[in-house]
Every structure is written in structure tokens, then in C-alpha cells.
Amino acid sequence: MNLRVLYRSVGSENTKNRPEYYSKQLALESLLRAAAQVSIPMTIHFVNDGPIPADRLALMADAGEIVPVSCGSNRASYRHVLRLPRLRRWAEDDLIWLAEDDYLYTERSLSALVSVAQARPDVSYFTLYSTLRFASASTRRRPVVEQSDQDPSGLPRFDGVPWARAASTTSTFGVRVAALLEDERLLRAIPFVGGAFDRATCLTLQGLQPFQLAELGGEPPAVEPPTAASRVARRAALTGVRLTLNAVALARSERRWRTMLVPEPSLATHLELGGALAAGHDWAAEAAAVAAWSQARTAAATGEASGPTSQLPTSEPLTSELPMSELPTSEAVATETAVSETAAVEPPTSEVAASGGGFGGLPGAGARKPFVA
């Protein structure tokens, strides 16, 4: 098994409420520090949507492969990277880590990811960041999501880290190539449902209805359509797409219900205030540790420090993969419409092997427990 990191990055910033220690440079350094602890073959591919500041770009060039793209949006770049494992013909037993550029990682996060993936070959999806769990009253048609109580007692441990079942996460997660190939069309279509498509993605993959009746028309947009007719058309389009996704989720056979595992507490966090920071860890102290690691690494590289430091993994030769000219660019990704993609949201026709699922139902649904060590 190889670990393949697909790290999506943009040079610009948004207006999210960030902690005082936040920077995309720090986030990148935290990933590289975690990568230094991974013991299996590993490659990092930096999928850069537009210009990247020189200091960050230099770090990326030293650590892996730079893949420049011109997607223009988070949705388009996400859909873009989902194609790369297939186009590059990566082995089905490889593990993909899909990463956004505003996350802070603990030093052992990626090595813990590898350990649980090796210990649980029956699980296809993993995340290092989620505080959302299923309530005992959940059913397939009405999943109930609640905040984790952060209690690791009774949870199975792999390499000393307790792991729980995650109800939902963001677009930063891990997946086996075999499962990604099975789910690619669905994963690339779901972003057109609007709103927080990552939650809809997680619920659908697990065979759960992602939208309730009140949610079918979509959330109020940041900018309302200018006319009543356009507002009605928007609601009608979203209702159709979301009803289709509900049907797809409920039609997935049990062998295609996926499980997603997360460490308890999380070993990475989204760097955003207002409840997004994962509980159970001192992230300010973690940021300071990353900064110290980076300074020591820089000093060692310039001969100003004595004693060895951890060596970052380098990217393996890519001669067996497709040439850059054959990789997808922004192509029609940014111009495809929800209508054309809705047709792709259909129940998969082939079945995944029984060992690829591992999620047999929800508490309260009359099925076996969803996660058994």
C-alpha cells in the first residue's frame, strides 16, 4: 500500500474567522511534519489552482510534485482531483488522502491513518477531523447527527489511537483507491446539490438519506436571484437534484454502504473559529510546535543547527504514471451544469466486495451495529 496525498491549494484567502496563529504556510508545514512520520511509501501531489506564494511553492517543490490547474472554484478543483487516481492508474490497494490547504495536523496524524487502514481492510473511508456522530435514534431515512462526547472509552484502538465512526466530515478525507473508483461518478456529481455538499456526500456514501423534506429547496443563497421566476427555478432545480440523491442513497445495496472512521479526539482540525476547531486538543500549542519544527528544519538545511532532524519524504519517480499533458485540466469542469450531472447520479451498477463495506446499519434501525472491532 502507498499513501498518495492530493493537496489542493489556492494562493488567495477568504473572509473566514481564523485563529490568530493561522496561515496556509503553517498548515502546509504541519502536513509535511506529519508526512515525515509515515513509514510506508508515500507521494504528495500539490494541485495548485492558480498562483501560489513563492515561499509555499518552494516547500511544495521540495516535498513532492506540483500539478498546476485552472479550475477557479473549490467545487471544480475537488471534482478535478477525484479523477487523478483513475487517470494515473494507481493501485487499488493504495490509500488516498484528499487534503484542503487550511488544516492543522498533529505530528502522528498521517501515521495513525496508515495504521488504521492497515488494520481495518474492510473499511474504505477515513478522516482525521470530525466531531459529528450518529445518535442512537438514527434510521436510514432520518439520520440524526450529534456532537461527539469526546469519550474514547470502549472504542477500538489501533497503534494506541482510539477510532470511532464519523457521521460526516469535510472535503478533507481518506479513501482507498478501489472504493474511489467505485464511487467516483457519485462523488463528482454530489457537489451540484448546493450548500454543504460534504455532509450530503458522507450520508449518501453510508446509504443514508441526505435531505429531509424541509431541506429539498436549498438554503437561502448569499445573493438572492433578482426575479421571482429565477428564485422559483432555483428551488425547483435543487429540489429535483436533492430528491434524486435521496433516491440514490436509499437504493445503494448494503454491500455498498461505506463506513468512515475518525480518531477520538480528532488528530487534525479545520483552522476556523466558531465551532469548527476540533475539541480535545490544544491547537495553539500544536501550531507553536509546527513553527518550531519548521525553524529547526530550516536551520539544519542552512547548516546553522547541529544534530539531525527528521527528513521529509520525497516524491517517488512518476515515470510509470501518465504524462502531465494527459492529465485533466480545468477543461469543462468549471462549466458543467447541475442538469448534466444529475443524470450521472444513479445507483451504481456493480457491487463492491463484501469486505469493502463494513457498515451494516444504524442503531435503532434493527440492523447490526455499524462498527465492530
Per-residue model confidence as pLDDT tens digits over 228-248: 888 899 889 999 999 999 999
Residue 344 pLDDT grade (very low, low, confident, very high; cuts 50, 70, 90): very low
Q: Is the pLDDT of residue 305 over 90?
A: no
- Identify which has the larger pLDDT, 355 or 258: 258
d(CA 112, CA 241): 37
- Identify which has the larger pLDDT, 6 or 235: 6
Q: Among all chains, which residue has been given the C-alpha cell 498562483?
A: 51
Q: Is the pLDDT of residue 164 over 70?
A: yes
pLDDT of residue 124: 97
pLDDT of residue 93: 96
Is residue 194 within 8 A of residue 109, CB to CB? The reply is no
Q: What is the mean pLDDT of the chain?
A: 84
Please state the rounded mean pLDDT for residues 216-236.
Answer: 85
Please state the rounded mean pLDDT for residues 220-234.
Answer: 83
For the segment 91-122, what is each residue's pLDDT rounded down to a tens digit?
Answer: 999 999 999 999 999 999 999 999 999 999 99
d(CA 241, CA 62): 43
- Least confident range of 140-144, 195-199, 245-249: 195-199
For the segment 46-74, what is each residue's pLDDT rounded down to a tens digit?
Answer: 999 999 999 999 999 999 999 999 999 99
In CATH, the number for domain 3-210+255-345 is 3.90.550.10
Q: Among all chains, which residue has been given the C-alpha cell 527528521?
A: 310
pLDDT of residue 226: 80
pLDDT of residue 306: 52
Please state the rounded mean pLDDT for residues 265-276.
Answer: 95
Q: Is the pLDDT of residue 128 over 60?
A: yes
d(CA 291, CA 188): 36
- Identify which has the larger pLDDT, 268 or 329: 268
Classified as helix, coil or strand, 65 is: strand
Is residue 140 within 8 A of residue 147, CB to CB? The reply is no
pLDDT of residue 230: 87
Residue 304 pLDDT grade (very low, low, confident, very high; cuts 50, 70, 90): low
pLDDT of residue 336: 40
Phi then psi for residue 309, to 5 deg, are -125, 165
Residue 307 pLDDT grade (very low, low, confident, very high; cuts 50, 70, 90): low
Residue 359 pLDDT grade (very low, low, confident, very high; cuts 50, 70, 90): very low
Note the pTM of the prediction, 2 decimals: 0.81
- Identify which has the larger pLDDT, 330 or 351: 330
pLDDT of residue 224: 78
Q: Is the pLDDT of residue 37 over 60?
A: yes
Q: CA of 143: how far to CAs of 202, 250, 256, in Å?
A: 11, 12, 17
Q: Parallel, antiparallel, or unpaired for β 125-126 and 260-263?
A: parallel
Q: CA of 371: how far to CAs of 32, 120, 196, 261, 338, in Å?
A: 31, 11, 25, 9, 35
User: pLDDT > 90: what percent of the chain?
Assistant: 71
pLDDT of residue 223: 79
Q: Is the pLDDT of residue 335 over 80?
A: no
Please state the rounded mean pLDDT for residues 158-178.
Answer: 97
